[in-house]
């Protein structure tokens, strides 16, 4: 903040104080014992003294300092007030006024040092007797001994015009008046009403064709807008008002912490509504203290790191897109992401396995979690576990956003995005279920209108969760009518969607109609409705009806598009992206010491019970007669625990899971069938154990996934030997990111007799192709890193790979259909996990291979 | 500003012995006349989806947004006949103005404090919470509605 501004403020304030002082002193003469008056006078002088010291006006400081000592004696009752003392103080006031006039005119205190006055004040303060303060005749610049009534007062006033500087002194005071904040608020309310009425008139105007009304309403429109801006301006204050006290904060902190910190401020003149200034005051101070304490390193550490010993703290404020950005940056050590994670784990804010998946940016945002502080030591300035979360919630309360950026060794920057004002905001009017709602423009990113015969079809589903592909990324979608429980007319062919941003996440909100944007006046909801998180308030529309303002964050949370906390949401999206593949119905069962085993239910043909007596032996295998065929039985326990002693007799009847493969079946003998669970599954831990794919959490308990192919192969190798057919010997490369999905695809192919190569990403796939002759490639469309087309391109570049047919696997039938229709690059496209279709397709591709020609086939129908 | 609130508050505490009366179903209610800001015909209302069901909606009262509470539902009485439009009785509460939707507006009555009695113990709990007492008028009973409790939706809920 520029000195001139500070001085101007000081002048305005001091002039006011001095006028009051004149009145108070006169009043004091009448009631010399009025402690309240004395205290007030003391405070006024004290304030001026304090500011003078700050601004380095030494003469003024000296005068007021002496007066203050005198006044403190009076205030404390150590001496009686006498008329001579009053006049002495009045002289002080006059002298002060004169110096202020000089400051205003020249910026300097002027040549007069007022030494005699200072001396008299000093003497008066030393002596307790009244006589001591008798004016030294002729020494005073003003007649101090004159009777102190209104006359004496006016004589001083008459003196003024003679003092040329003092005449001007009123210039500043006159150009500024102090207005109560209450009055400004009231004016703002009235302007709000006027804006509403203006909107009403404008709407009225569009309904009728009246030239006169038209002209008038246009004028009204312009004037209202101007008035609104004007009144808003009266409430605007430069952010420097808050920054003013920061140099002191930084200095004190630096001294206390033994650091050297230079504060740089840029954009102090940036203006904000006073309500917002109030709201950001504390968060700002907190952030600055934080930067001093945790950000900037002690000088010796800085020197060791090759930085200048003096740290830099930068405050920047600027307007951007109808908002004010405030940045608090330091050139310190940056935030140690590893320590943040570790701390979060210690505090129970994060699970260890989550921490590995967290990106640095996400980890940084952990500092905003309640109860978090990375300071190694708790100092008296910070590190008490309250802070950043409060900062965040305070900023969000006023519709702002907090973000933190950090580079190790280079520093940390906290960025606040703050709306200019809260009272009148631009909003988008939308409709849903026959009602109108307003969405604050700040939360709005874009509008999307899906039309044509497939409006609704652009919205795809990931296991029932609607998503929209927006420039290549999936945008979760919520339907406003569902969130609010409203009945909407059947959407025909057009879908209107608004893309919203809450915190740092985005989602689409489908609405019935998008109307227009308006300036709206935000009114709070009554107590009875405060509990509804989906509304931010209400407003009155142009037609005089009330419309509710949606709370974007609340809508997101209520619809489940945004989870309550960042971590949860991240985990959820992670699951969602995988759930298309891995949300599965699982059969859970028990065998031997394995309490919880799982296989996908889709692989299971039937569950059967056979009495022990029906089990026969054939070719070294247990078999039963089953539907006029021989069903080989595999005792699972023996496979998984080969070599373990037999635990007594098996149950009677035995529980058998029957798996079908074409004409053949095989039965798996288990101890007990437990349950069928429908669950999004992520294989968390791969086991090296034979017969198991890995383990995952299913229904809150860990279950082991059975590698069916391995189990069956281990137990009934010869059963597979007989499989034969076109499949035999053909090598298939399965490229798919998820180990679990890959295992399932492989087990399907294995069972029919293909040899399977696995690849988790593009590189592995290419390596596989280079190292082995491959007959068919089965690839997921979403093969990392960039999708299957990269693999396709790579394969088309090498002549020896060009003839290899490719089967693409899509996550949904919808995707499969579009891809099959769009491109002939792949020979076929099927839905992942539609095992039958996949095998059929592979068999078809294999047979085309046999006839040594590749014919692109597109299997479009959905199974 | 301060004085405004002070007067309003003291206004709320004061009782005049005069009651604005209204009907909800066959019940005859009274609210202290000093509390009543105004009485309006049925207004166009904006529904508030997801709001508690006693809230009928929001009305625009000359630029002030006022929440309307349906007294039938508040007292857990059967709904109004289809063709009957309720009246708005706007009362001042500590939380600002709230509109009570009632069936019909009655006269302003002077009552004799001697005829006051506590509400009967066996009154429906939903109503009992909201009724401060009963004035025994000559031809009927006047139930004194506790406006603050009425607009406090947490009150009178079945446990």
A487 touches chain B (CB under 8 A): no
Give per-residue pLDDT as tens, A410-467.
888 888 888 776 667 788 999 888 889 999 888 888 888 887 665 566 778 777 778 8
Q: What is the pTM of this model?
A: 0.44
Tell me the pairing of strands B18-24 and B64-70.
unpaired
Average pLDDT rounded to a whole number, residues A551-557: 85
Reported as half-sphere exposure (CB side, CA atoms, 13 A), residue A36 has a value of: 1
From the list B20, B25, B15, B11, the residue with the least C-alpha distance to B142 is: B20
Reported as half-sphere exposure (CB side, CA atoms, 13 A), residue A588 has a value of: 19
DSSP state of B156: T
Q: What is the DSSP track for A70-130?
A: HHHHHHTTSS---HHHHHHHHHHHHHHHHHHHHHHHHSS--S---HHHHHHHHHHHH--SG
Give per-residue pLDDT as tens, A257-295.
888 888 888 888 888 887 788 888 888 888 888 888 888
- pLDDT band of residue A822 (cuts 50, 70, 90) is low
Residues in CB range of A620: below 8 A, 6 or more apart:
none
Cα–Cα distance for residue pair A237/A1, rounded to 1 Å: 12
Closest Cα in chain B, distance from residue A526 (Å): 7
In three state form, how does the secondary structure of A497-545 look? EEEEEECCEEEEEEECEEEEEEEEECECCCHHHCCCCCEEEEEECCCCC
Helices A150-162, A3-30: inter-axial angle, 10-degree rounding: 150
ipTM of the complex: 0.83
Cα–Cα distance for residue pair A604/A593, rounded to 1 Å: 22
Among all residues of chain B, which has the CA nearest to that of A533? Answer: B50
Question: DSSP 3-state assignment of B92?
Answer: strand
Among all residues of chain A, which has the CA nearest to that of B95? Answer: A527
Cα–Cα distance for residue pair A506/A477, rounded to 1 Å: 9
Q: Which two tokens stand for residue B142?
A: 């006047």
Helices A211-234, A181-207: inter-axial angle, 10-degree rounding: 160
Helices A35-55, A58-75: inter-axial angle, 10-degree rounding: 160
A657 with A607: CB under 8 angstroms? Answer: yes
DSSP state of B44: -
Q: Which two tokens stand for residue A719?
A: 């059963």
For position A823, what pLDDT does the model report? 55
- β-strand partners of A176: none
Phi, psi of A570 (to 5 degrees): -65, -45
Phi, psi of A479 (to 5 degrees): -105, 120
**For residue B108, what is the enclosing H or E element?**
strand B104-110
Give per-residue pLDDT as tens, A377-387.
444 444 434 46
Q: Which two tokens stand for residue A705?
A: 């996934």
B30 with B131: CB under 8 angstroms? Answer: no
DSSP state of A294: I
A480 touches chain B (CB under 8 A): no
Residues in CB range of A765: below 8 A, 6 or more apart:
A733, A735, A759, A777, A779, A783, A791
Q: Is the pLDDT of residue B156 over 70?
A: no
A560: left (phi over 0), alpha (psi -120 to 50) or beta: left
Give me the residue from A435, A532, A540 closest to B51, CB to CB: A532
Cα–Cα distance for residue pair B34/A796, rounded to 1 Å: 87
From the list A831, A783, A732, the residue with the least C-alpha distance to A793 is: A783
- pLDDT band of residue A680 (cuts 50, 70, 90) is low
Give me the residue from A485, A532, A538 closest to B65, CB to CB: A538
Average pLDDT rounded to a whole number, residues A157-166: 40
Average pLDDT rounded to a whole number, residues A606-618: 80
Give me the residue from A527, A534, A546 closest to B59, CB to CB: A546
**For residue A565, what is the enclosing H or E element?**
none
Give per-residue pLDDT as tens, A467-482.
888 777 788 888 888 8
A534 with A502: CB under 8 angstroms? Answer: no
Q: What is the DSSP track for A354-385?
A: HHHH--HHHHHGGGGSTT----SS--SSS-SS
A528 touches chain B (CB under 8 A): yes
Q: Which two tokens stand for residue B116?
A: 């006051």
Answer yes or no: do B51 and A486 touch at CB < 8 A. no
Among all residues of chain B, which has the CA nearest to that of A481? Answer: B49
Q: Is the pLDDT of residue A851 over 60?
A: no
**For residue B82, what is the enclosing H or E element?**
none
- pLDDT band of residue A157 (cuts 50, 70, 90) is very low
Average pLDDT rounded to a whole number, residues A337-357: 77
Cα–Cα distance for residue pair A176/A106, rounded to 1 Å: 19
Give per-residue pLDDT as tens, A214-232.
888 888 988 988 888 888 7
- pLDDT band of residue A662 (cuts 50, 70, 90) is low
A547 touches chain B (CB under 8 A): yes
Sheet holding B55-61, edge to edge: B36-40, B87-93, B96-102, B64-70, B55-61
A545 touches chain B (CB under 8 A): yes
Give per-residue pLDDT as tens, A131-147.
444 443 333 333 333 34
B1 touches chain A (CB under 8 A): yes
Question: DSSP 3-state assignment of A252?
Answer: helix
Q: Which two tokens stand for residue A324?
A: 């004010």
Closest Cα in chain B, distance from residue A769 (Å): 58
- pLDDT band of residue A168 (cuts 50, 70, 90) is very low
**For residue A144, what is the enclosing H or E element?**
none
A132 touches chain B (CB under 8 A): no
Answer yes or no: do B96 and A526 touch at CB < 8 A. yes
Rg value, chain B, Cα? 15
Give per-residue pLDDT as tens, A73-124.
877 777 777 777 777 888 888 888 888 888 888 777 777 777 788 888 788 7
Report the share of chain A in percent with pLDDT over 90.
Answer: 2
Residue B98: C-alpha distances to residues A168, A603, A690, B89, B124 (Å): 55, 63, 71, 8, 24
- pLDDT band of residue A322 (cuts 50, 70, 90) is low
B47 touches chain A (CB under 8 A): yes
Closest Cα in chain B, distance from residue A484 (Å): 6
Question: DSSP 3-state assignment of A322?
Answer: coil
Average pLDDT rounded to a whole number, residues A487-493: 66
- pLDDT band of residue A681 (cuts 50, 70, 90) is low
Answer yes or no: do B60 and A540 touch at CB < 8 A. yes
A546: chain B residues, CB-CB within 8 Å: 45-46, 57-60, 65
- pLDDT band of residue B36 (cuts 50, 70, 90) is very high
Answer yes or no: do A526 and B52 touch at CB < 8 A. no
In three state form, how does the secondary structure of A769-782 look? HHHCCCCEEEEECC
Answer yes or no: do A526 and B59 touch at CB < 8 A. no
**How many interface pairs between A and B have CB atoms less than 8 angstroms apart?**
66
- Torsion over CA of B27, B33, B37 and B42, rounded to 10 degrees? 20
For position A423, what pLDDT does the model report? 64
Answer yes or no: do B65 and A528 touch at CB < 8 A. no
Lowest-confidence range among A167-181, A446-460, B71-85?
A: A167-181
């Amino acid at each position: 903040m520029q000195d001139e501004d500070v001085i101007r403020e000081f002048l305005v304030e001091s002039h006011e104080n001095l006028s009051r002082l004149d009145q108070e002193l006169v009043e004091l003469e009448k009631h010399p014992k009025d402690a309240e008056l004395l205290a007030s006078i003391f405070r006024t002088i004290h304030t001026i003294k304090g500011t003078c010291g700050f601004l380095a006006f030494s003469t003024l400081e000296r005068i007021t300092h002496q007066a203050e000592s005198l006044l403190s004696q009076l205030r404390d009752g150590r001496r009686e007030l006498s008329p001579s003392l009053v006049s002495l103080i009045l002289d002080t006031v006059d002298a002060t006024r004169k110096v202020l006039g000089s400051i205003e005119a020249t910026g300097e205190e002027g040549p007069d040092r007022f030494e005699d006055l200072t001396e008299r004040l000093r003497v008066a303060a030393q002596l307790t007797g009244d006589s001591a303060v008798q004016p030294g005749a002729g020494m005073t610049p003003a007649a101090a001994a004159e009777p102190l009534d209104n006359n004496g007062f006016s004589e001083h006033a008459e003196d003024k015009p003679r003092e040329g500087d003092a005449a001007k002194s009123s210039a500043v005071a006159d150009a500024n008046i102090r207005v109560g904040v209450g009055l400004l608020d009231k004016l703002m309310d009235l302007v709000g009403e006027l804006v509403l009425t203006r909107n009403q008139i404008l709407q009225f105007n569009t309904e009728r064709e009246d030239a006169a009304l038209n002209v008038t309403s246009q004028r009204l429109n312009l004037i209202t807008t101007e008035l609104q801006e004007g009144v808003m301006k009266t409430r605007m204050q430069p952010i420097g008002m808050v920054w003013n006290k920061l140099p002191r904060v930084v200095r004190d902190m630096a001294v206390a912490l033994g650091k050297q910190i230079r504060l740089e401020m840029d954009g102090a003149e940036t203006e904000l509504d006073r309500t917002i200034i109030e709201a950001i005051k504390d968060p700002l101070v907190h952030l600055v203290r934080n930067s001093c304490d945790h950000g900037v390193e002690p000088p010796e550490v800085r020197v060791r790191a090759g930085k200048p010993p003096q740290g830099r703290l930068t405050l920047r404020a600027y307007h951007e897109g109808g908002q004010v950005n405030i940045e608090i940056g330091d050139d310190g050590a940056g935030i140690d992401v590893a320590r943040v994670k570790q701390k979060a784990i210690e505090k129970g804010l994060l699970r260890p396995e989550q921490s590995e998946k967290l990106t640095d940016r996400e980890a940084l945002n952990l500092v905003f979690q309640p109860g978090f502080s990375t300071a190694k030591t708790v100092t008296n300035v910070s590190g008490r576990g309250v802070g950043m979360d409060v900062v965040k919630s305070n900023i969000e309360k006023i519709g702002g956003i907090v973000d933190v950026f950090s580079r190790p060794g280079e520093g940390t920057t906290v960025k606040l995005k703050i709306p200019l004002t809260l009272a009148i905001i631009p909003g988008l009017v939308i409709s849903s279920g026959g009602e109108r709602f307003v969405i604050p423009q700040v939360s709005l990113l874009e509008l999307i209108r899906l039309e044509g015969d497939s409006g609704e079809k652009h919205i795809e589903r990931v296991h029932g969760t609607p998503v929209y592909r927006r420039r290549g990324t999936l945008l979760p979608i919520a339907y406003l009518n569902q969130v609010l429980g409203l009945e909407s007319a059947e959407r025909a062919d057009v879908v209107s969607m608004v893309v919203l941003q809450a915190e740092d996440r985005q989602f689409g909100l489908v609405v019935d109609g998008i109307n227009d944007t308006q300036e709206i006046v935000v009114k709070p909801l009554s107590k009875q409705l405060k509990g509804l998180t989906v509304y931010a308030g209400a407003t009155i529309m142009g037609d005089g009806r009330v419309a509710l303002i949606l709370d974007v964050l609340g809508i997101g949370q209520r619809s489940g598009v945004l989870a309550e906390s960042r971590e949860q949401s991240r985990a959820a999206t992670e699951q969602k992206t995988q759930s298309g593949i891995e949300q599965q119905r699982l059969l859970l069962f028990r065998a031997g010491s394995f309490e919880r085993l799982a296989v996908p239910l889709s692989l299971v043909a039937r569950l059967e019970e056979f009495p022990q007596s029906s089990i026969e032996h054939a070719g070294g295998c247990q078999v039963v007669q089953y539907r006029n065929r021989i069903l080989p039985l595999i005792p699972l326990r023996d496979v998984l625990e080969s070599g373990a002693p037999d635990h007594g007799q098996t149950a009677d009847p035995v529980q058998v899971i029957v798996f079908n493969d074409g004409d053949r079946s095989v039965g798996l003998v288990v101890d007990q069938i437990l349950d069928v669970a429908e669950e999004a599954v992520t294989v968390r831990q791969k086991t090296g154990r034979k017969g198991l794919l890995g383990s995952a959490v299913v229904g809150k308990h860990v279950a082991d996934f059975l590698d069916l192919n391995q189990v069956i192969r281990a137990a009934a190798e010869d059963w597979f030997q007989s499989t034969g057919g076109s499949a035999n010997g053909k090598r298939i490369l399965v490229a798919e990111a998820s180990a679990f999905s890959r295992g399932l695809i492989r087990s399907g192919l294995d069972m029919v007799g293909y040899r399977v190569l696995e690849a988790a990403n593009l590189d592995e796939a290419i390596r596989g192709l280079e190292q082995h002759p491959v007959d068919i490639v089965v690839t997921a469309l979403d093969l990392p890193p960039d999708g299957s087309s990269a693999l396709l391109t790579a394969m088309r570049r090498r002549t020896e790979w060009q003839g290899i047919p490719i089967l693409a696997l899509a996550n949904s039938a919808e995707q499969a259909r579009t891809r099959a229709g769009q491109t002939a690059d792949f020979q076929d496209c099927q839905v992942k996990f539609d095992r039958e279709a996949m095998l059929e397709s592979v068999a078809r591709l294999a047979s085309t291979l046999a006839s040594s020609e590749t014919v692109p086939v597109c299997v479009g129908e959905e199974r | 500003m301060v004085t405004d609130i002070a007067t309003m508050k003291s206004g709320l505490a004061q009782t005049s012995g005069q009651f604005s009366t209204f009907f909800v179903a066959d019940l005859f209610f009274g609210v202290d006349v000093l509390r009543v800001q105004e009485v309006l015909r049925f207004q166009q209302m904006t529904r508030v989806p997801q709001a508690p069901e006693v809230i009928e909606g929001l009305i625009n009262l000359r630029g002030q947004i006022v929440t309307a509470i349906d007294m039938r539902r508040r007292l857990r009485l059967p709904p109004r006949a289809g063709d009957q439009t309720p009246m708005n009785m706007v009362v001042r509460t500590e939380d600002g103005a709230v509109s009570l939707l009632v069936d019909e507006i009655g006269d302003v009555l002077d009552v004799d404090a001697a005829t006051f009695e506590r509400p009967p113990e066996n009154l429906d709990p939903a109503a009992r919470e909201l009724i401060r007492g009963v004035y025994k008028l000559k031809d009927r009973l006047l139930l004194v509605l506790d406006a603050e409790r009425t607009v406090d939706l947490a009150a009178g809920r079945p446990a």
